[in-house]
């Protein structure tokens, strides 16, 4: 059994520490920011993952960062939208320190970040919606086909297909990664939710429980080996639901004709669909008892997972096994004749994301990382993506 670096439970308090330039901070936006607003914009963010230096927690989760919008430009006919953020301070409510950082990356966003940390908007003309409008315009310009263009335009309106909004709009809950551009001297608190974690009970029994679980899901239609299990939750269904809701995750809608249509609308309009449906995967021939996802402003990218109820209990708590992956893109599959998500092959990063998010809620009592020597470290999922892992399972006790 091994412990993950992010859960150094016995880390000593750090009363003053120098955090070097280049260190990344995972943060969650507390206020809306937008490229089309012309009034001054200030915002707050929350640190959602601890910064660990030399085995000790230097910055705990829960700290508040402040920032301002340095420049914001709405999209127009000749240029893309642009948004530049600056970050000024970090505080625990008692101690406030100046902060110099730049935006390093965005979570699940359709926009990109340039090498100066400036958010670059999308080219609406290159989206599915932009190409659709371009095609309709060409048909309308052709006298013989103008009638067809009118029928298609009416169909678009009847199906409630929106035009693409090329502006940058981030609501509270959107997650960023910052990078310090200057060292940060921190003299505030170093204890957050991770410091309250306790040692796991009965580790020998836990290892036996983990290694007895199935590690591979099966796609329902068509039946193919798919995602790998990489998390275990020990707690009631209500406890798990409360934790994911508090961490900002949402449950997917059922997969049916209506949600397929809404998925198509989201793809054409190049926007998010936080309740987007998931395909059905089975574990030991059983469908998931629940599923959760976290997205932003594009359906193409999302964190998502499926949770399966397992027989028995551990220390009196129900046992749940989970498979988690990060969707990073979407493309049309000639093999399956449908659109499929592409996933980040490094699925251990998604395991760490889920663990960090749930620890942040303060609802997790203990965390352990259990080796599974028999689990393969590289497989392919049902749609052909490679999944790479160290084989271990993270276990969270609520």
Q: For 205-246, what is each residue's pLDDT tens digit?
A: 999 999 999 999 999 888 999 999 999 999 999 999 999 999
Strand runs labelled E in 317-381: 317-333, 338-343, 366-370, 378-380
Fold (CATH) for 5-122+169-186: Lipocalin (2.40.128)
Cα 324 from Cα 213, distance rounded (Å): 15
The CA-based angle 9-4-230, given to 5 degrees, is: 130
Cα 124 from Cα 372, distance rounded (Å): 46
Mean pLDDT by 10 residues, the chain (398 residues): 43 68 97 94 97 92 97 95 97 96 97 97 85 77 76 78 92 97 95 91 94 95 92 98 97 92 88 92 96 95 97 96 93 64 92 97 97 95 92 98
Residues paired with 386 in a beta bridge: 380
By the 8 A CB rule, do 304 and 336 touch? no
Q: For 302-358, what is each residue's pLDDT tens digit?
A: 999 999 999 999 999 999 999 999 999 877 656 655 667 789 999 999 999 999 999
Task: Tell me the C-alpha to C-alpha distance, in Å, between residue 208 and each of 166, 205, 302, 342.
Answer: 52, 5, 32, 33
Q: What is the pLDDT of residue 15?
A: 60
Cα 340 from Cα 337, distance rounded (Å): 9
Query: Residue 94, CB half-sphere, CA atoms under 13 Å: how many?
Result: 4
Question: Two tokens at 81?
Answer: 């939208």
Q: What is the pLDDT of residue 387?
A: 95
Cα 241 from Cα 398, distance rounded (Å): 11
Q: What does the DSSP 8-state code read for residue 334?
A: T
């Amino acid at each position: 059994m091994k412990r993950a670096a992010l859960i150094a439970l016995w880390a000593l308090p750090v009363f003053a520490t120098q955090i070097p330039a280049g260190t990344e901070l995972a943060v969650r936006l507390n206020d809306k920011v937008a490229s089309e607003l012309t009034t001054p914009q200030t915002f707050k963010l929350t640190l959602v993952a601890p910064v660990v230096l030399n085995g000790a927690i230097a910055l705990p989760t829960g700290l508040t960062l402040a920032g301002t919008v340095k420049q914001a430009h709405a999209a127009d006919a000749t240029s893309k939208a642009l948004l530049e953020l600056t970050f000024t301070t970090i505080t625990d409510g008692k101690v406030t320190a100046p902060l110099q950082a730049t935006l390093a990356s965005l979570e699940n966003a359709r926009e990109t970040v340039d090498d100066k940390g400036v958010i670059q908007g999308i080219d609406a003309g290159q989206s599915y919606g932009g190409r659709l409008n371009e095609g309709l315009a060409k048909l309308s310009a052709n006298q013989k086909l103008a009638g067809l263009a009118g029928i298609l335009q009416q169909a678009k309106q009847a199906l409630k297909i929106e035009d693409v909004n090329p502006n940058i709009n981030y609501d509270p809950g959107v997650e960023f990664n910052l990078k310090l551009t200057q060292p940060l001297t921190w003299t505030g608190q170093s204890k957050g939710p991770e410091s309250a974690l306790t040692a796991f009970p009965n580790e020998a029994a836990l290892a036996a429980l983990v290694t007895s679980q199935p590690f591979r899901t099966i796609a329902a239609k068509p039946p193919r080996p798919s995602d790998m299990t990489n998390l275990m939750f020990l707690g009631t269904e209500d406890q798990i639901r409360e934790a994911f809701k508090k961490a900002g995750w949402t449950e997917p809608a059922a997969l049916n004709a209506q949600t397929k249509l809404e998925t198509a609308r989201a793809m054409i309009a190049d926007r998010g669909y936080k309740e987007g449906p998931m395909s059905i995967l089975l574990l030991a021939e059983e469908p998931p008892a629940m599923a959760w996802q976290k997205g932003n402003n594009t359906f193409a990218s999302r964190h998502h997972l499926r949770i399966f109820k397992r027989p028995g209990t551990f220390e009196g708590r129900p046992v749940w096994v989970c498979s988690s992956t990060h969707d990073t893109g979407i493309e049309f599959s000639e093999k399956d004749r449908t659109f499929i998500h592409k996933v980040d092959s490094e699925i251990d990063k998604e395991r760490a994301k889920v663990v960090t998010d749930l620890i942040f809620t303060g609802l997790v009592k203990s965390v352990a990382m259990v080796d599974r020597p028999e689990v393969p470290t590289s497989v392919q999922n049902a749609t052909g993506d490679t999944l790479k892992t160290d084989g271990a399972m993270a276990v969270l006790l609520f």
